[in-house]
Amino acid sequence: MPRIARLVAVGLPHHVTQRGNYQQQVFADDQDKEIYLSFIILASKKFELTILSYCLMDNHVHFIAVPKEDYSLAKTFNTAHMRYSQYYNKKQGLRGHLWQGRFYSCILDEQHLLSAAKYIERNPVRTKLVSRPWQWKFSSANTHCGGEEKYIYSARSLFDHIDMNRKQWREYIGEQDKKEELNEIKKHTMSGRPLGGAEFVTGLEKKFKRRLHALNWGRPRKSEK
């Protein structure tokens, strides 16, 4: 599925991800992650981006965020990532690009907000860093399961967007991943196409005046005789 020009829908959740250049490590230790989050917090407040969910891995990051303005996504991540690159390159004695091009993103409907938040909060489990999502220090899983949020306080507002409480969320992200859901989230995030039901996507097509439904590139069937 080819990547399209970035779409930003004010007031709707977006899945955002970005990797290190050539998949290189972008965090060497916990202090790096804390400094990175401090840049994200400052930029998100300045550019009015509400972060609902997040997860930091050693070579990439994930967020689910709701922009208040058309520029909120781009300015938050471009600003924070530029500042963090300067910090990290100076610390490590490096030059060049830390991040791999521009970040990827896709708009989510309510149902896919659930699956995308589960997807990013279970990332440390899939990579066998922890056995339970809420054990990972640098994600929103702990606060969503009833723990204290040490970094991004707006993550607590996830429950304003979904029909679950913290106990139900803990049970939900404790369940095994579904391969088809993972593939769907990855595909839409990499392409930039909205992830949602047909009616949701059609509504966005009208808003943006663009075709957003994925085309079926398969070979057309021959008509039956």
Domains within the chain, CATH numbers bracketed: 14-208 (3.30.70.1290)
Sequence-separated contacts (24+) of 173-182 with Cβ below 8 Å: 173/117, 173/118, 173/121, 173/122, 173/133, 173/134, 173/141, 173/144, 173/145, 174/132, 174/133, 175/118, 177/118, 177/119, 177/122, 177/126, 181/115, 181/119, 182/119
Percent pLDDT > 90 in the chain is 72
pLDDT in tens, 105-153: 999 999 999 999 999 999 999 999 999 999 999 999 999 998 887 888 8
pLDDT in tens, 184-204: 999 999 988 999 999 989 998
- Whether 220 has a pLDDT exceeding 80, the answer reads no
End-to-end CA, the chain: 33
- Whether 93 has a pLDDT exceeding 50, the answer reads yes
Identify the H or E element spanning 18.
strand 14-19
Identify the H or E element spanning 53.
strand 49-56
Residue type, 156: R
Using alpha carbons only, how large is the chain's radius of gyration in Å? 18
Angle in degrees, CA 98, 99, 102, rounded to 5: 150
Quick one: which of 31, 19, 63, 26 has its CA closest to 44? Answer: 63
Handedness of CA 91, 95, 100, 105 (dihedral sign): positive
- Whether 218 has a pLDDT exceeding 60, the answer reads no
- Whether 29 has a pLDDT exceeding 50, the answer reads yes
**What's the confidence (pLDDT) of residue 135?**
94
Q: How far is CA 18 from CA 22, 25, 81, 129, 153, in A?
A: 11, 12, 10, 20, 22
DSSP 139: B
Quick one: which of 99, 137, 80 has its CA closest to 20? Answer: 99
Question: Per mean pLDDT, which range of 56-60, 91-95, 173-177, 221-225 is the poorest?
Answer: 221-225
